[in-house]
Structure 1
Amino acid sequence: MAASALPSSMRAQFLDAFNSPYALRTVPLPVLTSPHDMLVKVDAASYCHTDAVLAAGGMAPNPPAFPHVGCHEFAGTVVATSHPAALSHGFQPGDRVGVPGRSFHACGTCFECRAAPGAGSDDSDPPGYSVYCAGGAANLGISAPGGFQEYAAVDARQVAPVPPGMSAPEAATLMCAGVTIYAALKRCGVAAGGRVGIVGCGGGLGHLGLQFAAAMGLRVVGVDNADAPLDLARGVVAARGVGGAVRVVDARADEAEDVVTQLGREDGRRDRADMGVDAVVILPESQRAFDYGVALLRNHGRCVVVSFPRDGFRLASRDVVFRDISVVGSLVGSNRVLREMVLFAAVHGVRASFKLFPLDRLNELVEEYHKGAGGKLVVDMTA
C-alpha cells in the first residue's frame, strides 16, 4: 500500500487505568521515528497472560504510561518503511511479518547489543541489536504501543517473515507464546529421546509446547490441574497422533512420585535418583506447580522457569545440594530463535488452538480469558 493510500486515522483499544476495561477510540496513525521503523497494518493480535498481568498493575516497577495500547504478539502486513531497504532489513511493503514485543528501538551500543554471535550461545542476535537490550529499548505492548490497533510502528530488526500458508492468527500466537516455550525447551538442553516435563501443558504456551517437544523427538510429560486445559492438552495429543511420545497427567489425581515411579519402570531404572524427567518447564505462577515440577526431575535435572509470580518461588535447598537440581530462567528467544521457531512450526504443523474476536469486542475476549479455558484468544482485524 503506498503511503498516499494510507488512511489518516485508525481504531485502537486503550487501557486508561489498571483494572479497567479497554476503550476503543479513533486516533491518528503511528509516526515512524527511527530509520529501522516500518508501519505494519495489523492483521491479528493475540492476547497473552502478560497482558492480563499488566492490566492488573503487576508489571511494577515499570508500569506502562496511560493511555496504553497493549498486545506484544501480533502479525501484520508491511505498508511503509521509513528508510531504504538497507535499514528495513530486506522487508518491503506487502511482506507479511510476525511481531514480538521485545526490544523496540534497541540502542545498539550497550553490552547486550554489542555481544558477538555466540557470546552467550549460538542463538544470540548479531552485534548491534539484542532482545535483552539494557540501553532503554521499549517493548511493544508493554512500555510502547502494541498490536491492539489497526496500524503499528515496528522495528524491522525484531520481526520475522510469516511463511506462506500460515495465517495471521496462527503467526500472531507464535510471537510470544510460541517463541517463549520454544526457547524454554531449547534451554532444557535435552537431546531427542530424552524426557521433559511441561507443567501447565493446557495453557497458551503449554499446548504449543507439547507439539514443539514431540516434534523435537522428546518424550513429554504434560501436567495440568483443571478440566478445560487438560481437555485441550489431550485433544492436541490425539489430533497430532503423538500419544506414544506425550502423556498428559492430571495433577489432582496423580502424585508426582507416582508418575516418577511409572517413568522409572518404563525406563528400566531401579534407583529413585535416576528416575523422572531430565528437565521440566514451569509455566504456572503457582508454588504447587513449581514443587510438582521439581519432584518430577531425576537427579542432575534442570528446572526452566518461565513464569514470574509477584512473590517468586521457594526452592528447597536439599534439591539443589543433594540432588544437584539446577534452576534457570527463560524469558524469550532472540530474533534468530524467533525465525527458527516460525519455520519449525510451519514445517511440523505446530498450531495454536485459538478463538477469534473482532477489535471492538476486546473486552469480551478478556472476560473469556479469565474463564481459564486454555488455548489462545486472538483479535482478528479482518472481522
Structure 2
Amino acid sequence: MYKNLFKPLSTSFIRNQHTFKHNVNLRVLSRRANATVNIPKNQKGVVFYKHNEGLKYQDIKTPEPKSNELLVKVLYSGVCHTDLHVYKGDWTEIDYKFDPYLVGGHEGAGIVVGMGSQVKGWKIGDLAGIKWLQSSCQACEYCETGHESNCNHAELSGATHNGSFQQYATTDAVQAARLANPKDLKVWGEERFDEYMAKVSPILCGGLTVYKALKASNLKANQWCLVTGCGGGLGSLATQYAKAMGFRVIGIDSGDEKEKFFKTLGGEVFIDFRKTNDIVSDIQQATKGGPHAVINLATSSDSISLSTKYCRTNGTIVLVGLPAGAVVKSDVFDHVVKSLNIVGSYVGNRADTREALEFFNRGLIKSEIKIVGLSQLEQVFDDMEKGKIVGRVVVDTSK
C-alpha cells in the first residue's frame, strides 16, 4: 500500500575514488587582497537555451562582477534535484532568465578572484560559496526580518542568475557564503583543502535546507524527529543535523542497505515502508505516541498527507520537498483535534547558512559524495530523472 509514498529526493550517499587536482596557492592569493588576478576571457560551462531541450558543455564568456558582486573561481558544485526541476521548467512560478542561455547550479564552492567596486569585507583568496539565494533586496519586510529567501525581488542562482555549473561565476557579496579555510579547522587541515571544498558544496543547499527545516520544527532536545526518505541525500543530512541538535531520529525508507546507513549516521528507529503492514501504528508505537515533528523530504503528496495520521498531537509537520504539481490533501479533523502545526520551510538566511556550515566544519556532519566531471552533467540529470542516482553528486569544474 505504501511502497511508492516515500520515494526520496535522492538515495543514500556513496563513496568513490577521486583524485583532487585543484592546486591553488591561497597564501599567494590572500596577500593580493586588492590585486588583479589573471582571469581567462572564456571558460567552460554547461548551458541550456530552452527548458528540457538539451544541455551543452561549451566555451562561454567569463562573467564580469557587478559593483556588488564577487567573481568566484568555482572548484566544485553539488548537483541538487532543484537543478533538474529548473532545467525542465517544472516551476512556472519562476521567471527564468536566458541571456541567451542559462547556466544552472547553486551549490558552488570556490575562491574569490575578483570583486566589484562596492564590495566590502571580502578579499582575493577568500573561500566563498554560491547558494540558491543569489541576492535579495535587503530593504523589504522579509529581508529586514531575516526571511531573505522570501524576498519578492530575490535572484536565484542557476534560475534567474547564471549559477555554478561553470568555472567562474558571479554572486552577490552579501549573500555569498563565507567558507572556512580548512587549514584553520581542527578536523580538516590544509592537506585536505580539495576534499573540504568538494564535500562542503552540498551543505550550501542540501545541508542548509534541512537545518533550517529542523529549526522550523521547534523541537526540543530528546524529542522524536521523523525524517521521510531518510536514506536519500537530503534525508541523510537531515538525520545527521537532527542527531547533532540533540533530537531522537526515526526514519522512513526501504532496503537493508539504507537502514544500515541510516543507523551509522545516528538514526535510532528505521521503518521500512515496503515491509510494514501498518506504518501509522509502527511509528506511533516506536515513538510512544508519534514523532514530535516530521521533516517531509519525500516527493509523494500521499506521504505528506499520511504524516498527519502518525504525527504526535501538538506536533509539527515541516514541508520541504517540492514535487512538481503536488497537492496536499488531508483530514481537517486530524488538523484541528490533534492541534497540528503544518509549516513550509524554504532554504535559509545568512545566519542559518553560517550555523549549518559550522556543524560541518566541526566534523559533526558527513558529506560522502560521488564526484564526476562538469562535462558529465547531462548524464547526471538523465540518471537523476530515472531514479538511478545513488548519493549526492558533485561536479568537478576542471573536467
Normalising by structure 1, what TM-score?
0.85
- Which residue does 2:142 correspond to in 1? 112
CA distance 1:375–1:233, change in 2 (3 Å): farther
Give 2:155's aligned residue. 138
For each residue in 1:225-259, what CA deviation from the matched residue of structure 2 results, as whole angstroms up to 9, or x when unmatched? 4x4xx634632432x4x3xx522221121232232
Provide the residue aligned with 2:129 in structure 1.
98
Alignment check: 8 A CA contact 2:134 2:171 kept: no
Q: In the TM superposition, what is the alpha-carbon distance from 1:328 to its structure 2 partner?
A: 0.3
| Structure 2 Cα separation of the partners of residues 322 and 295 of structure 1 | 12
253-262 vs 55-64, which deviates more?
253-262
Deviates more, 1:291-300 or 1:199-208: 291-300
Task: Identify unmatched segments of 5+ residues in structure 1.
Answer: 268-274
* Cα drift, residue 6 of structure 1: 1.1
CA 1:56–1:246 in 2, change beyond 3 Å: closer, same or farther?
Answer: same
Counterpart check, 1:21 vs 2:54: yes
Q: Retained in 1: the 8 A contact 2:314–2:339?
A: yes
1:253 to 233, 256, 275: 275
Q: How far off its partner does 1:63 sit?
A: 4.5
Query: Structure 1 residues 344 and 214, CA, compared in 2 at 3 Å: closer, same or farther?
Result: same
List aligned pairs for 1:210-249, cutoff 5 A: 210-225=239-254, 227=255, 231-232=257-258, 234-238=260-264, 240=265, 242=266, 245-249=267-271
Instruction: Give deviations 1:122-165, integer Å, cap 9, x for gaps.
Output: xx37xxxx33322x231111111000000000111112222313
Q: How many residues align structurally?
A: 349
Distance verdict in 2 for CA 1:109–1:216, change over 3 Å? closer
Other-structure match for 1:272: none
Residues 303-335 of structure 1: per-residue CA shift (max 9 Å, x gap): 000123313211210111111111000001111
**2:76 maps to 1:59:** no
Q: Deviation string for 1:259-308 (max 9, x for gaps)?
A: 234325xx5xxxxxxx0100101112212321333233111111000123
CA, structure 1 residues 216+109, in 2 after alignment: closer, same or farther (shift >3 Å)?
closer
1:202 aligned onto 2:220: no
8 Å Cα contact 1:73/1:147 also seen in 2: yes
| In structure 2, C-alpha distance between the alignment counterparts of 1:233 and 1:152, rounded to whole Å | 39
SS at match of 1:300: coil
Percent identity for Structure 1 against Structure 2: 28
Secondary structure of the corresponding residue to residue 58 of structure 1: coil
Out of 92, 109, 116, which is 1:82 matched to? Answer: 116
2:215 aligned residue (178, 183, 186): 186
C-alpha spacing 1:204/1:381, structure 2 compared with 1 (3 Å): same
Q: Is the 8 A contact 2:230 2:262 kept in 1?
A: no
- In the alignment, the residues of structure 2 paired with residue 249 and residue 183 of structure 1 have an alpha-carbon distance, to the nearest angstrom, of 24
Structure-1 separation of matches of 2:367 and 2:37? 36
Aligned-partner residue type, residue 302 of structure 2: R
Deviation at 1:108, TM superposition (A): 2.7
Assess if the C-alpha contact under 8 Å between 1:43 and 1:75 holds in 2. yes
Q: Is the 8 A contact 1:64 1:142 kept in 2?
A: yes
- SS of match in other structure, 1:3: coil
Matched, 1:12 2:12: no
* 1:70 counterpart (104, 116, 121): 104
Instruction: Quote the residue 2:327 is aligned against.
Output: 312
Q: Which runs of 5+ in 2 are unaligned?
A: 1-28, 30-34, 183-187, 189-194
Q: Tell me the distance in 2 between the aligned counterparts of 1:4 and 1:260.
A: 57
Q: What TM-score do you get using the length of structure 2 for normalisation? A: 0.82
CA distance in 1, matches of 2:209, 2:65: 28
